[in-house]
Amino acid sequence: MKKGKVIKNISKSDDFYEMFDVKPKNLNEKESFEELLKASENDPIMKKLQAGKIKSFNKKIIFVKERIKSYPQPQRKLDLHGLTSLEAEAETERFISVAMSDGLKTVRVITGKGYHSLSGPVLRDKIEILANLLKKNGKILSWKWEKKYKEKSGSIVFFLY
């Protein structure tokens, strides 16, 4: 059984400067724990911590762009040619769900460039909207156009959790 660190309960009367072995900028103006807590109320990290979204301060924070660098090339692809926009949307969601359950990290969805559509590209816009929604809802880590720009790309790469 691993031994864990003992976490001390902190009270309003505790001296943060002493606890963390730091010297205040001005010895005459020590802030109390209560004042520090009030000052941190709008701090985004504190909000995440209070909401239980941060589990530990020991883990290094890795930004999405940095994390994606370690992801493999697309491991599976889905070609949406010939599907209606509604079919393409449903098929893409199903494809991503199956890929995630299979433990994949990177997948490609081929939307085409719209050259064969009378009304121009439809699937690119529809799947881009879906990609943004999936990312916003936390269902995927991120996504990008394969050739960096939508106008040059006929496929989207999805980065999964």
pLDDT of residue 72: 96
Rounded Cα distance between 6 and 129, Å, is 47
51-60, 77-86, 92-101: range with lowest mean pLDDT: 51-60
Judged against a pLDDT cut of 90, whether residue 121 lies above it is answered with no
Tell me the HSE value of 161 on the side-chain side, using a 13 A CA sphere.
9
pTM here is 0.62
pLDDT of residue 1: 47
**Per-residue pLDDT tens over the stretch 58-85:** 555 678 888 899 999 999 999 999 999 9
Residue 111 has a CB neighbour count (10 Å cut-off) of 27
Q: Where are the domains of the chain?
A: 16-50, 68-159
Judged against a pLDDT cut of 70, whether residue 8 lies above it is answered with no
What's the CATH number for 68-159? 3.30.1370.110
pLDDT of residue 17: 62
10 Å CB burial of residue 80 (0-12, 13-18, 19+) is buried
Judged against a pLDDT cut of 80, whether residue 21 lies above it is answered with no
- DSSP class of residue 57 equals S
Cα 112–Cα 118–Cα 120 angle in degrees, nearest 5: 50
